[in-house]
Amino acid sequence: MQKGAVLLASHGTTAEDVLAVARGGAPVELAPEAVEAMAASRAVIDALAARPEPVYGVSTGFGALAVRHISPELRAQLQRSLVRSHAAGMGPVVEREVVRALMFLRLKTLASGRTGVRPVVAHTMAALLNAGITPVVREYGSLGCSGDLAPLAHCAQVLMGEGEAEGPDGTVRPAAELLAAHGIEPVELREKEGLALINGTDGMLGMLVMACADLARLFTAADVTAALTLEALLGTDRVLAPDLHAVRPHPGQAASAENMRRVLAGSGLTGHHQDEAPRVQDAYSVRCAPQVAGAGRDTLAHARLVAERELAAAVDNPVVTEDGRVESNGNFHGAPVGYVLDFLAIAAADLASICERRTDRLLDRNRSHGLPPFLADDPGVDSGLMIAQYTQAALVSEMKRLAVPASVDSIPSSAMQEDHVSMGWSAARKLRGAIEALTRVIAVEMYAATRALQIRVTNGGRPSPAGEAVLAAVLEAGIPGPGRDRFLSPDLEAAYAFVRAGLLTEAAETVTGPLA
């Protein structure tokens, strides 16, 4: 086995493998047991193809056209026609990592031995991945039922040596040229194979796996920024005591509270909420930070459970059973994945909302407990971070729109044969936009909180050791501290890059150790 390669057996795969292939470019190999399972299931399909009785996907048309029996001499054309007609996507090109995840997950199902394809089909798909050839897939075309049909059809078309693909150098070329340049023989599809290549939830599942990885990092980053804001506002960390969170035993809440408590350990600023303007309690956006981020963590845990189940599945229709039957089914319906994609978008939007409210408190002199208006150097002459909050608010508003569930919608298709669909692909696409926006929202809060802490330091305050580590890392990354007004967009983009690369959490962890 090639070093660093992902080995696909017949029993599914893991989220780590998906990320390694989609984002890390890891090579893929098929286990001998997977090749044997594919050969065995193919024998079942060949036997059925030789019989006079019609079998869906083997010797019939598709969808509402399944009533027609297809003669043997037309079956290769049937599979080619299926792929060509279903490669009907439109719009912008989908990201390379999404297409690689989609292809890898379809290959995972082929390797299960449940689809009836020949081993050569799976070997050719693995060869495409290993050569860095990425089919051009368009944004629009999947209803998330009968699988991600159009996106998968664009991939299957490249397997046939048709359509367009992006080479390892990033250049889009005709698929036939790319396959020839890498010594890959196009596949001549036989019975059932075209259908098996397009009938799965692989696109939405791949995006779910990547979203879970991204959100796990962002929930931790949000805990760090919430702690920095609490400190800059001279709030109390007593609300983070473990016994208080044990009273309401949500595991995500306890994890977020513990993260914040560790970031704030040793602070000389917390607990001074009575000094300037007496207050019994901090505002909800500060005091309830663990409850909101923690609920998001628990939502993420549920989404990961769904993803794990789907990663162990073999989604196709019809499917070859263990005892050799070929049965139609509805396992291609994307509802389980679509629901959690929408759920994560809701959690992300609410987390962004509470982040923005904390930022607003840092900028309002009536609620910031001694900080200058908008954290400006010379308020009135300087506007400080006034419009940074506008930008953050615009992002939060966009995220609220993206939180509207896609999975509650359904538009019937295929002459009412496919009369209820999941819209899971759409849920996944909007979640990717929400994650991008959330990263920027957290970056703006971090930028405001670190500036506020730098102002506290100038006035004799002493942040926690973890807070000091974050301040040092921010400055080292070239993100300036307080001062006269300047072109703010580059600073905010630098803060976004800092958060996106995981540097915020890494800086805090140099003091706290690994955070949850």
Please tell me the least confidently modeled range out of 183-197, 270-284, 321-335. 270-284
Q: Is residue 248 very low, low, confident or very high in pLDDT (cuts 50, 70, 90)? A: very high
Contact 488, 387 (CB under 8 A): yes
Residue that has been written with the tokens 């980053």 in this structure: 221
Residue that has been written with the tokens 């309830």 in this structure: 288
Helical H segments across 364-502, by residue range: 386-402, 424-458, 465-476, 489-500
- Distance from C-alpha of 23 to C-alpha of 17, rounded to nearest angstrom: 10
pLDDT of residue 328: 87
> What is the distance, to the nearest Å, from the Cα of residue 324 to the centroid of all Cα atoms in its chain?
36
Domain ranges of the chain: 6-200, 207-512
**pLDDT mean over 92-100:** 98
- Distance from C-alpha of 464 to C-alpha of 265, rounded to nearest angstrom: 6
Work out the burial of residue 305: count CB atoms within 10 Å of its CB; fewer than 13 is exposed, 13-18 middle, 19 or more buried.
exposed
Contact 38, 118 (CB under 8 A): yes
The C-alpha angle with vertex 48 and arms to 46 and 53, in degrees rounded to 5, equals 145
Asked if pLDDT for residue 278 goes beyond 70, the answer is: no
Residue that has been written with the tokens 């909800």 in this structure: 284
Q: CA-CA distances (angstroms) from residue 506 to 24, 221, 251?
A: 21, 9, 23
pLDDT of residue 277: 56
Contact 444, 359 (CB under 8 A): yes
Q: Which residues contact 460 (CB under 8 A, 6 or more apart)?
A: none
**pLDDT mean over 310-328:** 91
Tokens at 273, concatenated: 């909420």
Architecture field, domain 207-512 = Up-down Bundle (1.20)
On average, the pLDDT of the chain sits at 95
> What is the distance, to the nearest Å, from the Cα of residue 227 to the centroid of all Cα atoms in its chain?
25
In this prediction, what percent of the chain has a pLDDT beyond 90? 86
> What is the distance, to the nearest Å, from the Cα of residue 499 to the centroid of all Cα atoms in its chain?
16
Q: Is residue 276 very low, low, confident or very high in pLDDT (cuts 50, 70, 90)? A: low
pLDDT of residue 4: 87
**pLDDT mean over 89-109:** 98
Count of C-beta atoms within a 10 Å radius of residue 223: 28
Q: Is residue 358 very low, low, confident or very high in pLDDT (cuts 50, 70, 90)? A: very high
Q: Which of 441, 459, 468 is nearest to 360 (CA)?
A: 441
Would 6-200 and 207-512 be classified into the same CATH topology? Answer: no
Which CATH topology does 6-200 take? Fumarase C; Chain B, domain 1 (1.10.275)
Q: Is residue 279 very low, low, confident or very high in pLDDT (cuts 50, 70, 90)? A: low
Report the DSSP pairing between strands 90-93 and 138-140.
antiparallel
Give the largest CA-CA distance in the chain: 88
pLDDT digits (tens, 9 = 90+) for 191-219: 999 999 999 999 999 999 999 999 999 99
Q: Is residue 54 very low, low, confident or very high in pLDDT (cuts 50, 70, 90)? A: confident
- Distance from C-alpha of 26 to C-alpha of 40, rounded to nearest angstrom: 28
Asked if pLDDT for residue 71 goes beyond 80, the answer is: yes
- Distance from C-alpha of 122 to C-alpha of 58, rounded to nearest angstrom: 18
Q: Which of 396, 315, 397 is nearest to 115 (CA)?
A: 315
B/e letters for 277-300, b = 16+ CB within 10 Å, e = fewer, are eeeeebeebbebbbbbbbbbbebb
Q: CA-CA distances (angstroms) from residue 320 to 41, 95, 121, 370?
A: 6, 32, 17, 69
pLDDT of residue 479: 97
pLDDT digits (tens, 9 = 90+) for 380-436: 999 999 999 999 999 999 999 999 999 999 998 888 888 889 999 999 999 999 999
Work out the burial of residue 409: count CB atoms within 10 Å of its CB; fewer than 13 is exposed, 13-18 middle, 19 or more buried.
middle
pLDDT digits (tens, 9 = 90+) for 32-51: 999 999 999 999 999 988 88
pLDDT of residue 236: 94
Q: CA-CA distances (angstroms) from residue 239 to 259, 281, 287, 446, 455?
A: 13, 9, 7, 21, 25
pLDDT digits (tens, 9 = 90+) for 429-477: 999 999 999 999 999 999 999 999 999 999 999 999 999 999 999 999 9
Q: Which of 194, 18, 35, 61 is nearest to 120 (CA)?
A: 35
**pLDDT mean over 290-318:** 96
- Distance from C-alpha of 321 to C-alpha of 342, rounded to nearest angstrom: 32
- Distance from C-alpha of 256 to C-alpha of 304, rounded to nearest angstrom: 18
Catalytic residues: 56
Q: CA-CA distances (angstroms) from residue 287 to 226, 230, 290, 298?
A: 10, 8, 8, 19
Q: Radius of gyration (Cα) for the chain, nearest Å?
A: 27
Tokens at 136, concatenated: 């051009």
